[in-house]
Every structure is written in structure tokens, then in C-alpha cells.
Structure 1
Amino acid sequence: MATPVKVYGPTLSTAVSRVLACLLEKNVQFQLIPVNMAKGEHKKPDYLKIQPFGQVPAYQDEDITLFESRSINRYICDKYGSQGNKGLYGTNPLEKASIDQWIEAEGQSFNPPSSVLVFQLAFAPRMKIKQDENLIRQNEEKLLDVYEKRLGDSQYLAGDEFTLADLSHLPNIQYLVNGTDRAELFTSRENVGRWWGDISNRESWKKVVEMQTSPPPS
């Protein structure tokens, strides 16, 4: 039996949950190792050996160590290409290029404003930090017009099949739709709302959400 890969980090981390969703899509056995960031465990020397920037996730597959969730997911799809969702990262160069461009769009154009909104709307109230309404408004305006148009032309971002391009967007949207009062940013748009309803109901993602609501003891 293959040794389970190891994923280090809390399930509530958007980057960690992105990797967990990919592992579940690919039917890869994994061991989740909690990292208590409130106690500074991500800055300890042993952890920095596998994640030099002191962030999450860190990923170990036997003697391979990786960090950065989107790169980890590409590696998982390439190494375990013959199992689970075989088309998750495409099956030819053109499909991969289409997926990659939307993963890059997520990382560079979608993640920055959506991360601001996740912090301001979901985490600031829990941390009793005053919300910045101007910052919220500015970042709401940057999000979804391009997505509404694209998803009017195809079922998913990179074509007519669910791929890493869609999966990469799941964590931040989950917080914004289910953890804030701004769900209508997504649900009020015909194409984006349809897309979100589809991808958020995948069994892999529902398992991740279950892990987030019932996290293992640290």
C-alpha cells in the first residue's frame, strides 16, 4: 500500500483546503497534520525546513517537499494522472494551457480582491477588528464581470469539464458565500451563480467543508 502523502496546515486555510480538494478529486491517500499558527508552529525551525516562508500548506510525498497550493495541485495531477478525476489538469497541451491561464487568473486577478473580502467580511468580525468599508467596496467592484461573461460561453472556466481552474476558486468563494452577508455577489449573477452551485456540490468539496466544520484535534 502506498504511503499517504502529508499535508501540513489547518483545514480553515484557503490554501490548505485547495490542496485537500485536489487530493480527494484524485483519490490520493493523505495525512493531514495540523499546524497551530496561533502558537507560531509555522515559524519553528523544523517546519521551516519544509516550508521556508513559514506559511501553509507544506506538502510531503516521500522524499519530495513542496509548497504553494497551486503548484502542489499541478504536481498531484501529473503524478497521479491515471487515478481519480483523470481530466482535472487536462489530457493534452491545449487543455492544460487553458486550465493554467485560469489558475493564473485566479491567483493574480481573483485571489487578491477576494482575499481582502474574506478577511474583512469573514475574519475581521471574529477578531473584533473594525471593517474597512471603503476597502470592501473597492474590492467588490473588481471581482466578477469577466467570470459572468466567460461562464456564459462555457459550463466551466476552462471548457465543459470541471478542472483545477474551477477547483482553485472554491476556498475563497466558500467563505464569501457561506461566511459573510455578501453571498449575492455570486448568487445574484446568472452564470456565476449556476457555476458556483455546480462546483460547490462536488463530493470532494463537500468533504473538505465537512473537515473544516469538524477539524481534527491539534
Structure 2
Amino acid sequence: MAVCKLYGSIGSLATMRALASLFEHELEIEFIPIDLKTEQNKEEGFLSLSPFGQVPVFQDGELTIFESRAIMRCISHIYPNSGKEQIYMAPKMQGIVATWIDVEDHQFDPPASKLISELIEKPKNGLPTNEAAVAEEEAKLTRVLDVYEERLTRTKYLGGDKFTSADLTHLPNLYYLMATPMRRLFDKRVHVSAWCNDIMSRPAWSKVVDMVEKAKV
């Protein structure tokens, strides 16, 4: 099997999502770093792969895909691991997983990303946190987590009885949110807390975290 390539920036939410999927499927990859600070993502060569200049980009032979959730879905279908694949083979169950991936994209990610910006990115760059924005996004995330808590009283994972891409897609935001005061929103919900501890302890995710932590040094 040819080695797959992933162009990305360590620490970016989208790159972390794609890496997690690749590691879950135990694929041999060549990671090609793209420096966003020097705007390498806006160079002609990279734009030929990702027309909007966003990381990551996944290459598998003649196949080139951008957008991290599309990469995650594609990998799940092309490289299923028997008993460990991040999808269900039954179409109805695939629909359930797809629903919760979309929930993460449209309901969970927007407030989570804004909270990470306010609580981590702004202070790191010497900018003041907008406390009103934090309160607004915390309220939105609270409503989402209430839905998750109810869902997880009935199934071990969001997509059903096994870990799937519906869970994996949350990992990058969870990694950063757990380092903020927003962690309390997860800890106070019994089923959400157990779910977080479960998916964040997976060996594939630990490999991603190790890459991110080493890049900080």
C-alpha cells in the first residue's frame, strides 16, 4: 500500500481531526507541515490542492481531498478496519452517525471554536477576552451538552454502541476546551464526562496529542 500524505498544521483543529482518523485506521502516512504564520497555505502550489487555502489536505495516490470532515468520512469508507471501522455497514446506522457528525459541525463546533478563541487564542496573543461573548457561547454550548447528556443515557457513544467518526470529530475541540474553565460543563454531566474520558483516552488520539505537545516545545 502506498503511503498516504497529509498536509496540515499541527495544533489546528481540522488537522488534528484528520490525523486522529488516520491513526485510528492505522495508516502509514507522510505528514507534510504547512506553515500558516508565513502563509504557506496561500502559495500557488498549496492552492492547487486546497483552493480555499485551508488545511488539511489528504492525498492517497490520485485522490486529493480537502475539508477535515470529508477526509474523516472518506478514510472510514476506504480503509475500514474489521471490527474497528469508524462507520456502521448498515445504511440506517450510517445515517445516525452522519446525523451526529452534522450536529458536531453545526451545533457543537461553533460555540466551542469561539470559546477556544476567546479563552486561549486571544490571551496567547495578548488580546483581552470578551467576557460577554464567552457568556453567550457558554450558554449555547450548555444547550448542546444537555442534548448530548440525554443521548448518552441511551447509547454509549453518539452514533450508537461503538466509537465512530461521530465521536472522533469532537476530539480536537475537547482537547482545547478541557484546558479552560469550560471543562466544568463536561464534568458536571455524568454521561458526557464518561464519554469524554473514554474517547480522549484512545491510543490513536494520544498519538495526536503527543504530536501537538511536542510542537509546543
TM > 0.5 fold call: yes
Does 2:26 align with 1:27?
yes
Q: TM-score, normalised by structure 1?
A: 0.94
2:125 to 127, 131, 138: 127
The SS at the match of 1:129 is coil
CA distances 1:104-136 after superposition (whole Å, capped 9, x unpaired)? 000011111110011111111101111111111
- Contact kept, 8 Å, 1:17 with 1:171, in 2: the verdict is yes
Q: How far apart are the structure 1 equivalents of 2:170 and 2:11? A: 15
CA distances 1:8-57 after superposition (whole Å, capped 9, x unpaired)? 11120111110111111111111111111000100000000000000111
Report what 2:212 is aligned to. 212
Report what 1:159 is aligned to. 160
Report what 1:146 is aligned to. 147
- Report the alpha carbon displacement of residue 61 of structure 1 after superposing the two structures with TM: 1.0
Deviates more, 1:180-189 or 1:163-172: 180-189
1:111 to 105, 109, 114: 109
Gaps in structure 2 of 5+ consecutive residues: none
Gaps in structure 1 of 5+ consecutive residues: none
- Report the alpha carbon displacement of residue 188 of structure 1 after superposing the two structures with TM: 1.8
Alignment of 1:6-155 (within 5 A): 6-81=5-80, 83=81, 86-143=84-141, 144-155=145-156
Q: How far apart are the structure 1 equivalents of 2:135 and 2:7? A: 34
Q: TM-score, normalised by structure 2?
A: 0.95
Does 2:149 align with 1:187?
no
Q: Identity rate of aligned residues, in percent?
A: 39
Alignment RMSD, CA only?
1.5
The SS at the match of 1:137 is helix
Change in CA separation of 1:186 and 1:204 when aligned onto 2, cut-off 3 Å: same
- Contact kept, 8 Å, 1:27 with 1:84, in 2: the verdict is no
CA distances 1:163-199 after superposition (whole Å, capped 9, x unpaired)? 0000001100110003x23211211211111110110
- Report the alpha carbon displacement of residue 85 of structure 1 after superposing the two structures with TM: 5.6
